Amino acid sequence: MKLVVGHLYPDYLNIYADRGNIAVLARRAAWRGHELEVRPLSVGDEIPREGVDIFYVGGGQDREQALVAPDFAAKGGALRVALDRGAALLAVCGGYQLLGRFYRDTNGVEQPGLGLFAHETVAGETRMIGDVLLECELEPGERRTLAGFENHAGRTRLDPGATPLGRVVAGFGNDGESGYEGCRLGLALGTYLHGPLLPRNPWLADWLLARALERRGESPDLAPLPDDLEREAHEVAARRAHERGGRA
């Protein structure tokens, strides 16, 4: 089975080793006998409403976010159609911020967002940096932990009723106050966790691949892999997060 990832703005939003997330998806798909095609989609490119199984957008600094924000906002309609037709999405850090209504930087300049997620982000005076651990439940009754690294000045505040990606066990999360991190809308996930995220949390990579297979009409059941190193990486990150002394 050939699966397709639409990598949004890889030439702009590509810091914090987030390209590693694409590498993990490709490798874990290949180990199960599936091919992963990565299609770069940048400024001026149309978002396919069909044919892409997973969209991915990474992080960038304020300058790069400002360069892509108008183009990204204009793509909102096409992206919504693709998600309504079964595509999944993972957005990290700067990409996550731009999926809300707006991002206001440290100079007070407001960058337009897509409005996919019900949140707004305003840059604070200090950065929130360190290992972070979440508890989340993507499937009913199945609680898992996500471990990663956060480094952001943005304070993202979810609207009442919006669904966070997870509850903060240790770290700052969206704003350092609410106890929540990220946002989820159906198969669209947004988070500040990078470092990159998926090597430390292979179960999330497999969740995305399973959704891609479902979209293709295939069984989402994936053969287990020997994830000893991945589990160790997760445990190390989780331990460091716990050593921060709980939610900041």
pLDDT (tens digit per residue) in 196-244: 999 999 999 999 999 999 999 999 999 999 999 999 999 999 999 999 7
Helix axes 76-84, 62-74, angle to 10 degrees: 70
Question: Does 248 fall in a domain?
Answer: no
Nearest to 87 by CA among 38, 117, 137, 51: 51
Using one digit for the tens of pLDDT, what is the confidence trace for 29-84?
999 999 999 999 999 999 999 999 999 999 999 999 999 999 999 999 999 999 99
Average pLDDT over residues 87-103: 97
The structure tokens listed for 9 are: 């703005």
Average pLDDT over residues 146-160: 97
Question: Does 86 fall in a domain?
Answer: yes
- Report the predicted TM-score, pTM, of the whole model to 2 decimal places: 0.96
User: 222 burial class (0-12, 13-18, 19+ CB within 10 angstroms)?
Assistant: middle
Q: How far is CA 44 from CA 3, 8, 61, 215, in A?
A: 23, 11, 20, 27
Phi (first) and psi of residue 32, to 5 degrees: -100, 5
Mean pLDDT of the residues in the chain: 95
Give the total number of structural domains in the chain.
Answer: 1
pLDDT of residue 115: 97
d(CA 194, CA 181): 13
Active site residues: 93, 194
* Residue range of the domain that includes 176: 2-242
Q: The domain spanning residue 57 has which CATH number?
A: 3.40.50.880
